[in-house]
Amino acid sequence: MIERKRVAILISGRGSNMKALVGASKNPIYPAEIALVLSNRVSAAGLAFAEATGIQTSVIDHKKYGTRESFDTAIDARLREAKIELVALAGFMRIMTAGFVDAWRDRMINIHPSLLPSYKGLHTHERALADGVKIHGCTSHFVRHDVDAGPIIAQAAVPVLEGDTPETLSARVLLAEHQLYPHALRLVASGRARVENERVVIADSREATAPLINPPLR
Ligand code: GRF
């Protein structure tokens, strides 16, 4: 039996990355089990999927808390109650306080739809198209105080094609996200991705050299 880390996935909406992580965790040799899906929105579409899959879910509605601190304290308490060891943000649209980020330092990861450090923040696909970049992509990283910053675990490159719209590009990047995030969580949960001097070191060098081009270049 391999040791599986107890993971909470934090979502705010669709939850397609959460589904990808849940799918990966169905493999008994995957080193993470999804022990909790937590949403700040009761209407998050991903919640229904998690419930139907038999995963424990929680809603902690940020609007019911007067401050960011009290909201984060409630989330932290729920995570500890569920004996969570790792947190995966997956389209969670709240900025966490520094205290919360510090409490989960090197135990909280995120997926972002760009090749960081380019295009932090929102509307990444629109901005990439406006700049005329030819390669776009996605990044999984450890969470730090600054939004969409922190040691990079893995990245996937996605070509920008002639005639792309924000919708077509975002759909192509999302497919890469669904491959990349389970890969990144696997590296972290198995202990093979470690932070040294604010850089991620991957223990197995074959795993480190896995920049994906999706779809493969012809
Ligand atoms: C994804 O593009 C993710 O990279 C970003 O928010 C989006 C969430 O999509 N952080 P989903 O809820 O996982 O489908």
| pLDDT per residue as tens digits for the range 72-97 | 999 999 999 999 999 999 999 999 99
The residues that bridge with 137 in the sheet, in sequence order, are 157
Q: Is the CB of 150 under 6 A from ligand 1?
A: no
CA angle 68, 80, 178 (to 5 degrees): 80
Sheet holding 212-213, edge to edge: 57-59, 32-39, 5-11, 86-89, 108-112, 135-142, 152-159, 212-213
In this prediction, residue 1 carries a pLDDT of: 74
Identify the segments of the chain with pLDDT beneath 70. 205-218
**Residue 45 near residue 99, CB atoms below 8 Å:** no
Q: Is the CB of 137 under 6 A from ligand 1?
A: no
| Mutate-to-test residue for ligand 1 from 47, 111, 116, 120, highest number of ligand atoms within 8 A of CB | 111
In this prediction, residue 199 carries a pLDDT of: 97
In this prediction, residue 54 carries a pLDDT of: 96
| Closest residue by Cα to residue 147 from 199, 98, 205 | 98
Neighbours of 56 (CB within 10 A): 13
Q: Is the CB of 154 under 6 A from ligand 1?
A: no
In this prediction, residue 196 carries a pLDDT of: 97
Distance, CA of 94 to CA of 143 (rounded, Å): 13
In this prediction, residue 204 carries a pLDDT of: 74
| Catalytic site includes residue 112 | yes
In this prediction, residue 156 carries a pLDDT of: 94
In this prediction, residue 2 carries a pLDDT of: 83
